[in-house]
Amino acid sequence: AQSVTQLDSHVSVSEGTPVLLRCNYSSSYSPSLFWYVQHPNKGLQLLLKYTSAATLVKGINGFEAEFKKSETSFHLTKPSAHMSDAAEYFCVVSKHNAGGTSYGKLTFGQGTILTVHP
Amino acid sequence: GAGVSQSPRYKVAKRGQDVALRCDPISGHVSLFWYQQALGQGPEFLTYFQNEAQLDKSGLPSDRFFAERPEGSVSTLKIQRTQQEDSAVYLCASSPGRLGQLNSPLHFGNGTRLTVT
């Protein structure tokens, strides 16, 4: 079984300040972990993914996440928030096969709504 | 190129009506998933197709939900005798990889928002 817990339902930051969105996971397998972003009335877009290679993963739009097995965490960060970052963010876990590929069936967290103030 | 297309974008149904939601995946994508996203929640897995074969339907909430992909491309999610609890956004996603070999990310459509009154 696998699950993710996003620790904050809402995060509010000022433009230009750092962003931290927290995620803890639980998985009985070696997990693949993802962050997806969903802008209003838009489809889900992949920000980044971890699949057992480097523990620090860089994604699009300046976002990155660090896989910490000892803490079962996969927090998303960005050094400087932009107004266009305002959206809902989902931490996602997938079963990860021994061959290094994702099973594909995704388990989503509840989501964190990021608000960016001017 | 074109992404995953879903139609209709919005659907309002009276309780008890049947609805059909369509998904056009990216051409050539082998895998197709349906997810249900209730208001304020993350998406939840409904079912998975590999080409025309429905390999996993463990997430379908009841026998009122039925999905098909007869020719391995377009998929339809049908909900019979809709109930208020069926109100949600239904998301379709596709991938060029097969189950267990999905190194490529899922490409999501914009979803169909179903409101049952």
Q: Which of B45-49, B73-77, B103-107, B108-112 has the lowest mean pLDDT?
A: B103-107
Which residues on chain B are in Cβ contact (under 8 Å) with A102? Answer: 102-103
Helix (H) or strand (E) holding B49: strand B44-50
Instruction: List pLDDT tens digits, range B96-110.
Output: 887 656 566 788 999
Task: Report the alpha-carbon distance of residue A84 to residue A100 in Å, rounded.
Answer: 33
- Hey, are the CB atoms on A105 and B33 less than 8 Å from each other? yes
Contact indicator for A55, A64 with CB cutoff of 8 Å:
no
Which residues on chain A are in Cβ contact (under 8 Å) with B56? Answer: 105
Cα–Cα distance list, B36 to A65, B2, B32, B42 (Å):
26, 23, 14, 8
- Among A28, A33, A29, A67, smallest CA distance to A48 is for A33
- Hey, are the CB atoms on A108 and B91 less than 8 Å from each other? no
* Mean pLDDT score, A47-54: 84
- Which residues numbered 18-77 in B keep a CB inside 8 Å of some CB on A? 31, 33, 35, 40-45, 48, 56
- Return the number of other C-beta atoms located less than 10 Å from residue A1's C-beta: 8
Which residues on chain B are in Cβ contact (under 8 Å) with A111? Answer: 40-42
Query: DSSP letters along A10-22, please?
Result: EEEEETTS-EEE-
Instruction: With a cut of 90, say whether residue A96 has pLDDT above it.
Output: no
Helices (H) and strands (E) in chain B, counts: 0, 11
- Hey, are the CB atoms on A104 and B99 less than 8 Å from each other? yes
How many Cα atoms are found within 13 Å in the side-chain-facing hemisphere of A7? 11
Contact indicator for B43, B24 with CB cutoff of 8 Å:
no
**pLDDT score of A2:** 80
DSSP A100: S
Task: Report the alpha-carbon distance of residue B5 to residue A98 in Å, rounded.
Answer: 33
- Among A79, A86, A66, smallest CA distance to A25 is for A66
Task: Provide the mean pLDDT of chain A.
Answer: 89
**pLDDT score of B101:** 63
Instruction: List pLDDT tens digits, range A61-91.
Output: 999 999 999 999 999 999 999 999 999 999 9
In chain A, % of residues over pLDDT 70:
92
Contact indicator for A81, A118 with CB cutoff of 8 Å:
no
- Hey, are the CB atoms on B45 and A43 less than 8 Å from each other? no
- Return the number of other C-beta atoms located less than 10 Å from residue A84's C-beta: 10
